[in-house]
Chains A and B, each alone.
Chain A
Amino acid sequence: MSTLEIRNLNVSIAGTPILRDFNLTVPKGEVHALMGPNGTGKSTLAKALAGHEDYTIESGEILFDGENIIGEEPDVISRAGLFMAFQYPSEIPGVTIANFIRAALTARMEEGQRFDAPAYYKELYAKMDSLKIDRQFTSRSVNEGFSGGEKKRCEILQMAMLKPKYAIMDETDSGLDIDALRIVAGGVNAMRGPDLGILVITHYQRLLDYIVPDRVHVMYEGRIVESGDAELAKKLELNGYDWVKENFAAATV
C-alpha cells in the first residue's frame, strides 16, 4: 500500500477536460518521470494532486497509501505527506523563508508539542549549505527578487525540511542553468530512499541525466501512452515529441 496511485482520473478546467482516464502508480522508493509535449496535462496533474480548487476532478481516485484524498483541502493533502515543487513559485513579500518553513512545520506538529527552534535552525542551515544557499537567505522574503535557480533551490530546501512521502516536481528544471541543475538534482538525489516516492515532471530529458528515473512515462493528450525504463527518455530525446504525436494521436481520438 506504500504507493501514490492514480486511478481513472478525469480532470477539467472551467469545463474543458484535460486529464482523461489517467492512470499512474508511483511506489515509495522509486523515481518516476512524466514527460510529454506542452499542453498535454502534466501541470494539471500536479495541481490536481495538490488539491487546487480551479481543477475540477470529475471522476477517479487518488490513493495516498491506499487512502483516497480527492476532495481534501490543499493544506490537508500537504500535511498528509504530498509535496509539490512549483514550476513558478510565488513571491511573498514580508514573509521570511525561515518563518515560512517554520509555519509549515508547526502546522504538522501535534497539539501541545513544542517547536524546537535551535534544532530547526541547525537543520535548516545544514540543508541550505548542501544546496549552496547563502544562510542569509533565511531572513529574505520568500522568493522575492530571487533568480530562477534560487527559487528552485528554495523549493528543494522546503521539500527537504518538510520530508514528504511523495513529491511532485513540476518542471523543476525550467529556467535553470547547468550548475543550478546539478545542485537541484543533487538535492533531490540526496532525498531518494525507501520512504519517498518522486514524480518528476519534465519536458526535457536533460534533468534525467542527473536524476536517473526508475520509470519513464510519456503523456499525451491527458493520459499516459507509453511507459518504460530510463532508456525511453533517451528515445524521446532522439525522436522528439513528433514521434509521440504520430504514434498516439489516432489512439486518443
Chain B
Amino acid sequence: MSNDTLTVEAATIADADIFSQRQALSAHLPEWFRSLQQAHWARYLELPEPRRLDERWRFANLRRLQDIGRFSPTPFERPEADDLVERAQVVENCAGRLLFVDDNLAAAREMDPELEKQGVIFTTLGDALNRHGDLVKKYFMAETPDLGSEKYEALHVALLRSGVFLYVPDNVEVKRPFVVYNFTQRNGGAIFPHTLFVTGRNARATLVDYQAAASPDTEHLVIANAHIHTGDGAESHHRIIQNWNERTLSFQLNTNNAQRDSQAKSIIVNIGSAQARQEVHGKIFGSGSNVEMYSVNVPTGEQEFDQRTLQTHIAPNSRSDLLFKNALLDQTRTIFSGLIIVEENAQQTDAYQTNNNLMLSEEAESNSLPGLEIKANDVKCSHGATTGRIDESNMFYFLARGIPPAGARELLVFGFLEEIIQKFETPAMAEHVRSLLAAKFHL
C-alpha cells in the first residue's frame, strides 16, 4: 500500500485543518456533541501511536497503523449505489433497515410503523442527536472498551458524522432483527460507523451490523464503534458481520453493558479486512445478568485478526461466557488476548473464556493470551486456549465414507465453526454466514 494508489484528491486525516473543515459541515448538531468531538480531536492528536512494547499491542502488526493519515474522511453526498441497495437484502422481513455507503445514508430508512407507535427509535445518529438529544447524550460514549485503541477511538468520535441509534423502550419486544448495512465505496476513504443500541427495562431486540465493500480493489480505513446497553431484565442480541474488502484496515471498538437480570448476547463474524483490530469489553453492572460474547473467524491470505477482550464483573451473581473460534488458512495471523476481571463485590460470578484455534496451514500463526484477575473469593471462572489441526482419525472416517479430502476438510472445519454459527437465531442469517465462510475456502 502506498500513497500513489490513492486516486481521491480530498483532504486527508493528516491535513491540519481536516477537523475544522468537517465541523463546519455539522453546525446543525447539538453543541455538547460538537464540543465532545473537539475534545476528542485534541485527544487524537495528543495520544501516541501504539508502541511495540505496549502489552495491549503485543503481536500486532503496527506498520499499517502508521500511515492512516493518508485516508480521507468521505465527503457528504448522496451515493450512487443502486446495486448496493440490492445487496442489502440479507435478512428478509426485518424490523427495520438502514443502509449507509461511505457513511452517507443511501436509501430511505425502513421501519415497521407498528414499532414506531410503540416508541421504538431506529434512525441515524445525526437525526437522533437532533430529535432525541438527551437520550443520546445519556449513552453516547458513556462506556469505552479501554483496551488499547484510545487514539483511534478519539479519531472516531472526532470525525464521525453518522451512525445508528436503536432505542427499544421498556417492555417492548421486537422479534425480527434490525439490520444496518455499511458499505465502503470510495477509494482511499475513511469511515466511522457508530452503533448505539439501547434496550429499556424488559425490552428485547436484535441488531445486525452488516459491513461490506462495494468492490474488492479499493482501499479503506474503517473505525467503527458499537455500544450496547441492555436494561434491567432486557435481552439484546448484537451481531456483526465484518466483511470489509481485503485492502481495509478496520477497527471495531465495542462495549457490551448489562444491567440487572439482563441477557446481552453478541456475535462477531470476521471474514474481510487486511487487518482487523477488535476490542470488546463486556461490563456486568447488574446482578443476575448473562453476557455472551462469541466470535467466529476465518482468515485467509495474509489477513490479521487481532481481538482483545475484557469481561468485567462488577455486580455479583452473574454469568459471562466468551468463545472465540479461529480457523486459520494460508499465511494468516490471529491474536486473541482476553481477560476476565472479577471485582471484589462480584461474588458468585460464573465466567468463562475460551479461544480455539484450528490451524489449516503450516504458515499460519495464532497467538493466544488468556487471563484472569479475580478479587472475589466465591467465584467459578475458567479460561483456556487450544490450538490444533484437523484430527486424522476424523479425516479417515470421512474418507472411508467416500467423501474426497477437500470436501472432508471443509465439513470438518465447518463442524468446528458451527458451534458459533448455530447461535444465530435467524436461520436465514445463519445460512448467509455459512455461505460467506464457505466462499473463503474456494479461493
| Chain A residues at the B interface, C-beta cutoff of 8 Å | 50-52, 73-75, 78-79, 84, 86, 89-90, 92-95, 99-101, 103-104, 107-108, 141, 158, 162
Contacts and interface: CB of A to CB of B under 8 A. Distances in A.
A126 to B, nearest CB: 20
Given A75-B402, A75-B405, 19 more contacts: A51-B400, A75-B400, A86-B397, A90-B391, A90-B393, A92-B397, A92-B398, A92-B415, A94-B417, A95-B415, A99-B411, A100-B401, A100-B411, A103-B398, A103-B401, A103-B403, A107-B402, A107-B407, A141-B415
Contacts, number: 76
Contact of B400 (A74, A99, A103): A74
Interface in B411-443: 411-412, 414-419
Interface of B: 391, 393-394, 396-405, 407-408, 411-412, 414-419
Chain A CB count within 10 A is highest, among B391, B399, B417, B419, for B399
A130 B261 CA distance: 47
Given A94-B416, A95-B418, A141-B415, A50 B401 contact: no
Nearest to B414: A94
A100 B403 CA distance: 9
Identify which of A90, A101, A158 gathers the most chain B CB atoms within 10 Å of its CB. A90
A107 to B, nearest CB: 5
A159 B398 CA distance: 13
B357 to A, nearest CB: 15
B272 to A, nearest CB: 23
A107 B399 CA distance: 10
Nearest to B401: A104
Contacts of B419: 93-94
A74 B402 CA distance: 7
Nearest to B413: A94
Contact of A84 (B400, B415, B416): B400
A147 B187 CA distance: 57
Nearest to A101: B401
A86 B415 CA distance: 21
A79 B218 CA distance: 45
Given A90-B394, A103-B407, A107-B407, A50 B400 contact: yes
Contacts of A99: 411
Contacts of A50: 400
A73 B399 contact: yes
Contacts of B400: 50-51, 74-75, 78, 84, 86
A95 B412 contact: yes
Given A95-B418, A99-B411, A107-B407, A78 B402 contact: yes
B397 A107 contact: no
A94 B434 CA distance: 12
Nearest to A88: B393
